[in-house]
Amino acid sequence: MEVFWDQTLRFFSFGDPIVRVAVAGCLLLGLACGLMGSFIMVRRLSLFGDTLSHAVLPGVAMGFIWNLSKDPVAILIGAVLAGYLGVMLVRWLTATTRLKEDAAMGMVLAGFYGLGVCLLTFVQRQAVGDMAGLDKMLFGQASALTGTDIQVLAVVSGVALALVAVFYKEFLVISFNETFARVSGIPVRWFNGLFFLLLSFAIVASLQAVGVVLVSAMLITPAATAYMLTDRMHRLIGLACVFGMLAGLIGCYLSFLGAGLPTGPFIVLVSSLGFIAAWFFSPRYGWVLEKLRRISRRRRMALENTLASIYRFREGEGHAETVALSLLGLSRHRNESLEEVESRLKRLQAEGFAKLVPSPRTAALEHCQVVLTAKGARRARTLIRNHRLWELYLNRAADYADDHVHDDAELMEHYLSEGLVDRLDQRLDYPRVDPHGRTIPSKEEARQ
Amino acid sequence: MKPVLETHDLTVIYSRKPVLYGVDLTVHAGSIVGLLGPNGAGKSTFIKACMGLIPLESGWVELFGQRGRKAIRRAGYVPQRESVDWDFPVNALDVVLMGRYGKLGLFRRPGKADREMAMDCLRMVNMEAYADRQIAALSGGQQQRIFLARALAQETDLYFLDEPFVGVDAATEAAIITILRKMRDQGKTLIVVHHDLTTAAQYFDQLVLLNMRVIASGPTQEVFTEENLHRAYGGRLTLLTQAASERIQQRSS
Ligand SMILES: Nc1ncnc2c1ncn2[C@@H]1O[C@H](COP(=O)(O)OP(=O)(O)O)[C@@H](O)[C@H]1O
Ligand SMILES: [Mg+2]
């Protein structure tokens, strides 16, 4: 425990230069990956991103072999070239054989990765030159990042950010509708080339900290998380960058706690947890809130149906609001158990729609009188008005048979807005009688 | 006056199979031209060829008497609705705004004037109330109207529309045709891919019957004959023939 707090303090004071470099690296890679990943995701290029991230590996090894040192620029160039070669190979395979893109990508991905691992192992066996961190390319180790790495990362992220900001509208329209972009005179090929280059940069820049195997997750997951939360591209990009950076920071911290643990899996894990949280709790597309909304909708409908039943019962018995209706009577009328009706009425009472008045003759709950408050009566009349107007509308305008309109209206009465009901009323010329011959409360009556 | 669109000997080949073969066509300004033909006749391909989206095997296309990319920018394009991902994170106004991008050029961002203009275009197709809806939350007919508004925002004199009536309800179809007529009355030329023969004669001033080659082209009355339709649709014309010949009889009576 002591150690835990020590390490935490050491990490978040950012005093240790190694920690500073590692954190800067993880933040920058989160930014770059979130940015490019947003486009990858909306363009449905996830598999492409995965392929590219594996295809760069032999280039990384070659970049090292080039001058036997871990020179970030040489590695960057080697990686971009290898990535380009891989992508071209996929194109060539799909164009000249019957293979489809996914098969071609799958092969190129695995083939290049295999070659890369072999080359890296070979380089390490030779044990020449300074290869600090080269063995960490597979799973990533942020603490192996050097100051030069950070400079390269910063330049790469900065350039990517600036170019996307300047050419945002071009990238947007190309992603949404490429042919339309072309006929609008946008040099699509040029931008796609640029996109490929920026993406390769982001991938290579992230290799050292996240590793080849998991880079594609860093591209997709923050973007996918953001996609759960927003419907606008610029917000999606912003959120994806923030999520990427957060995952970078927290993942880096977690791997730091257990000294020597690979960073990549932790960053990806944090990022995935973030996605799960968004998937469950997103206000718009979240699973939990959708469920809650559905439950509360159902409950409201049940309450409103009870209100409408009380109204209908009275109407059937004459019309006077003084007709006595006991809880038992209501339960028989609604064909529901006494407990169910009781709990509904308790809720209605709590919300001020109805009151339960004890019977003077007996203390038994089932003989309590159900009385609508003014508010409850208003709501009931509105529901009845909605229901009957909708029935009449279906009957007249949509040619529904009389005996078919009830079920539909039973649902619609809860959803019709006041404006729509007024328009219905007007369209039907302010009718007073529904298809079953019952009175439709007018707007004024409903309001009373 | 120069024709708005002229193609000569236009030939397109997809993997050794000719899709368009020696298409000669001339379209003059100010009309709604229906491009008719059976499925796979090459209608979409023809539009793409005119817009420089696919390489030509031979022949040429001239828009407003010019060739090349400059000329193509003077034409607007409404692609088939299923050609885009409607789950894309943009709202209706964003899509319409894309119509302005061509005019803006590379470095300028859409400004307030563009946004207002895009709103006007939405208004023209009666969609202003949906400006900030994500596009997947629109019905098929509404999506088509958004595409139309984007075309309006392009402010060009020639438009290619690929099957704008597919998956659209009758009310929207009527609304779209009204807008197209309004555009024509402003002197614009519209080339519309269509495949419902029962409405073709009613909607279009000119018709082009296409099936790899141009079977017939010219004013609707001259082109819309049973013989021509037979030649364009071949043996596939069964129910369609019936419907069309009823139309023809209606018109001649
Ligand atoms: N990208 C493509 N590659 C190969 N063949 C294609 C391609 N696009 C269209 N085709 C073929 O070209 C023919 C014409 O297609 P298209 O122009 O889409 O027809 P239409 O729009 O008239 O239904 C079809 O037979 C189709 O299979
Ligand atoms: Mg087509």
pLDDT-derived band at A239, boundaries 50, 70, 90:
very high
Going from the Cα of B53 to the center of ligand 1, the distance in angstroms, rounded, reads 13
Same domain, A207 and A301: no
Same domain, A83 and A229: yes
| A154-176 average pLDDT score | 94
Closest CA to A170 of B128, B6, B67, B106: B106
Cβ atoms of A197 and A39 closer than 8 Å: no
The structural domain count of chain A equals: 3
Residue B235 has what pLDDT?
Answer: 58
Is residue A98 within 8 angstroms of chain B, CB to CB? no
Same domain, B49 and B162: yes
In a domain, B183, yes or no: no
Ramachandran quadrant class, A430 (left: phi over 0; alpha: psi -120 to 50; beta: rest):
left
Residues in chain A with CB shorter than 8 Å from the CB of B73 are: 183-185
Residues in chain A with CB shorter than 8 Å from the CB of B107 are: 166
For A58, list phi and psi in degrees, rounded to 5.
-60, -35
Amino acid at B83: S
State the nearest Cα–Cα gap between A141 and chain B, in angstroms.
Answer: 34
Report the C-alpha gap between A333 and B44 in whole angstroms.
63
Question: Which residue CA neighbors atom 12 of ligand 1 most closely?
Answer: B19
Q: What is the CA radius of gyration of chain B?
A: 18
Residue B10 has what pLDDT?
Answer: 92
The structural domain count of chain B equals: 2
Report the C-alpha gap between B147 and B96 in whole angstroms.
7
Same domain, A126 and A243: yes
The percentage of chain A sitting over the pLDDT mark of 70, rounded to a whole number, equals 96
In a domain, B210, yes or no: yes
Cβ atoms of B88 and B120 closer than 8 Å: no
| A106-118 average pLDDT score | 93
In a domain, B144, yes or no: yes
Domain limit, last residue, from A372, A406, A439: A372
Nearest Cβ partner of B107 from A166, A227, A233?
A: A166
Same domain, A353 and A390: no
Cβ atoms of A70 and A39 closer than 8 Å: no
Mean pLDDT, chain A, integer: 86
Ligand in nearest proximity to the CA of B50:
1
Same domain, A110 and A249: yes
* 3-state SS assignment for residue B88: coil
Q: Do A182 and B52 touch (CB under 8 A)?
A: yes
Report the C-alpha gap between B204 and A80 in whole angstroms.
53
Cβ atoms of B165 and B194 closer than 8 Å: yes
In a domain, B44, yes or no: yes
Cβ atoms of A262 and A255 closer than 8 Å: yes
The DSSP secondary-structure symbol of B239 reads H
Range of the structural domain that residue B110 is part of? 84-155
The DSSP secondary-structure symbol of B66 reads B
Same domain, B59 and B90: no
Same domain, A216 and A272: yes
Same domain, B66 and B166: yes
Nearest Cβ partner of B79 from A173, A180, A236?
A: A180
Report the C-alpha gap between A210 and A263 in whole angstroms.
6
| A264-285 average pLDDT score | 91
| A99-105 average pLDDT score | 92
Q: What is the CATH number of the domain that holds A336?
A: 1.10.10
Contacts 24+ apart (CB under 8 A), A273-280: A274/A221, A274/A222, A274/A225, A274/A243, A274/A246, A274/A247, A275/A221, A275/A224, A275/A225, A275/A228, A278/A225, A278/A226, A278/A228, A278/A229, A279/A228
> Cα separations (Å) of A104 from A101, A146, A182, A189, B179?
5, 36, 27, 22, 46
Q: Do A169 and B69 touch (CB under 8 A)?
A: no
Q: Atom of ligand 1 at shortest distance to CA of B39?
A: 23
Interface of B with A (CB under 8 A): 48, 51-53, 69, 72-73, 75-77, 79, 83-85, 88-91, 94-95, 98, 101-102, 104, 106-107, 109-110, 134, 150, 154
Same domain, B125 and B115: yes
SS3 content of chain B, % helix, strand, coil (to 5): 45, 25, 30
Give the torsion through C-alpha atoms of A181, A187, A192, A197, to 10 deg.
Answer: -150
Closest CA to A205 of A250, A255, A253, A161: A161
CB within 8 Å of B231: residues ≥ 6 apart: B209, B211, B215, B216
Same domain, B50 and B39: yes
Closest CA to A440 of B6, A217, A431, A448: A431
Same domain, B130 and B162: no
In a domain, B108, yes or no: yes
- Widest distance between CA atoms in chain B: 59
Among A223-232, A347-356, B115-124, name the one with the lowest average pLDDT.
A347-356
Question: Which residue CA neighbors atom 3 of ligand 1 most closely?
Answer: B14
Mutate to test the pocket of ligand 1, among B13, B17, B19, B21 (most ligand atoms within 8 A of CB): B19
Same domain, A206 and A306: no
Residue A341 has what pLDDT?
Answer: 83
Same domain, B164 and B63: yes
In a domain, B177, yes or no: no
A329 has a pLDDT exceeding 60: yes
Tokens 């071609």, residue? Answer: A104
Find residue B189's DSSP bridge partners: B158
Report the C-alpha gap between B37 and B229 in whole angstroms.
9
Same domain, B18 and B45: yes
Nearest Cβ partner of A231 from B52, B89, B109?
A: B89
Residues in chain B with CB shorter than 8 Å from the CB of A176 are: 84-85, 88, 90, 95, 98
Q: What is the pLDDT of residues A385-434, one digit of tens each?
A: 888 888 888 887 777 777 777 777 788 888 888 888 888 888 888 888 88
In a domain, B178, yes or no: no
Q: Per-residue b/e over B34-64, b at no fewer than 16 CB within 10 Å?
A: bbbbbeebbbbbbbbbbbbbbebbebebbbb
Ramachandran quadrant class, A42 (left: phi over 0; alpha: psi -120 to 50; beta: rest):
alpha
Ligand in nearest proximity to the CA of A179:
1
Same domain, B143 and B220: no
Closest-approach residue (CA) in chain A for B134: A231
Residue A224 has what pLDDT?
Answer: 96
Find residue B193's DSSP bridge partners: B35
pLDDT-derived band at A323, boundaries 50, 70, 90:
low
Is residue A146 within 8 angstroms of chain B, CB to CB? no
Residues of chain B predicted below pLDDT 70: 235-253
Contact pairs from chain A to chain B, CB under 8 Å: 81
Residue A133 has what pLDDT?
Answer: 60
Same domain, B162 and B237: yes
Same domain, A348 and A429: no
Q: What is the CATH number of the domain that holds A204?
A: 1.10.3470.10
Same domain, B167 and B242: yes
Same domain, A212 and A347: no
Q: Atom of ligand 1 at shortest distance to CA of B41?
A: 22
State the nearest Cα–Cα gap between A293 and chain B, in angstroms.
Answer: 19
Domain limit, last residue, from A347, A372, A397: A372
Amino acid at A273: L
Q: What is the CATH number of the domain that holds A401?
A: 1.10.10.10
Range of the structural domain that residue A392 is part of? 376-447
A46 has a pLDDT exceeding 80: yes
Same domain, A11 and A44: yes
Q: Do A185 and B69 touch (CB under 8 A)?
A: yes
Q: What is the CATH number of the domain that holds B212?
A: 3.40.50.300
Residue A7 has what pLDDT?
Answer: 81
Same domain, A190 and A303: no
Give ligand 1 pocket residues (Cβ under 6 A).
Answer: B 14-15, 19, 37, 39-45
Report the C-alpha gap between B116 and B125 in whole angstroms.
15
Domain limit, last residue, from A346, A372, A398: A372
| A363-367 average pLDDT score | 77
Interface of A with B in 157-176 (CB under 8 A): 166-170, 172-173, 175-176
Going from the Cα of A267 to the center of ligand 2, the distance in angstroms, rounded, reads 46
Both tokens of residue A118?
Answer: 């072999």
Report the C-alpha gap between B95 and A175 in whole angstroms.
12
Task: Convert chain A into a string of H (helix), E (strand) and C (coil).
Answer: CHHHHHHHHHHHCCCCHHHHHHHHHHHHHHHHHHHHHHHHHHCCCHHHHHHHHHHCHHHHHHHHHHHCECCHHHHHHHHHHHHHHHHHHHHHHHHHCCCCHHHHHHHHHHHHHHHHHHHHHHHHHHCCCECCCHHHCCCCCHHHCCHHHHHHHHHHHHHHHHHHHHCHHHHHHHHHCHHHHHHCCCCHHHHHHHHHHHHHHHHHHHHHHHCHHHHHHHHHHHHHHHHCCCCCHHHHHHHHHHHHHHHHHHHHHHHHHCCCCCHHHHHHHHHHHHHHHHHHHCCCCCHHHHHHHHHHHHHHHHHHHHHHHHHHHHHHCCCCCCCCCEHHHHHHHHCCCHHHHHHHHHHHHHCCCEEEECCCCCCCHHHCEEEECHHHHHHHHHHHHHHHHHHHHHHHHCCCCHHHHHHHHHHHCCCCCHHHHHHHHHHCCCCCECCCCCECCCHHHHHC
* 3-state SS assignment for residue B26: strand
pLDDT-derived band at A54, boundaries 50, 70, 90:
very high
Same domain, A356 and A281: no
Closest CA to A81 of A96, A67, A63: A63
Same domain, B161 and B238: yes
Q: What is the pLDDT of residues A15-27, one digit of tens each?
A: 788 888 889 999 9
Residues in chain A with CB shorter than 8 Å from the CB of B101 are: 169-170, 173, 181, 184, 186
